[in-house]
Structure 1
Amino acid sequence: MRVLIDESKCCGAGQCVMIAPRVFDQRDDGIVILLDAAPPTELHAAVREAACVCPGAAIALDEGT
């Protein structure tokens, strides 16, 4: 899995940080920071959930091999 973010779509809700704090963080202004673009397998479910609930659709996932 590869995680991609579009900062211009981020509204700073922080859902991703609450769901997958080892993969996402936030700047002081609330915009997402990607901590791990290729998270380990055990975090994939949480990252998928974070992408799904992101209100700005700022998180994209590439699940190709």
Structure 2
Amino acid sequence: MKLVASLKYILKEDLPPIRIKNDNNVLSYILLKDMEREPAKYPIIVDVVEAEIDNTSITVPL
């Protein structure tokens, strides 16, 4: 069994949470936090779940 974490934050209460999926999303979040003067605004929500991961390797041509 492995643990899988997903990160997200809420931009506005009436919008769905924004998932942080890659480095660009992290950069966007950091820029958003830099513009905001209230440190508690836009907290990161971390969901951790157990996931059964198949050990079969997948080869993708590049």
Query: TM over 0.5: same fold?
Result: no
Greater fraction helix? 1
Coarse TM-score class (shorter-chain normalised) = 0.3 to 0.5
Q: TM-score, normalised by structure 1?
A: 0.35
Larger Rg: 2
Structure with greater strand share of residues: 2
TM-score (norm: length of structure 2): 0.36
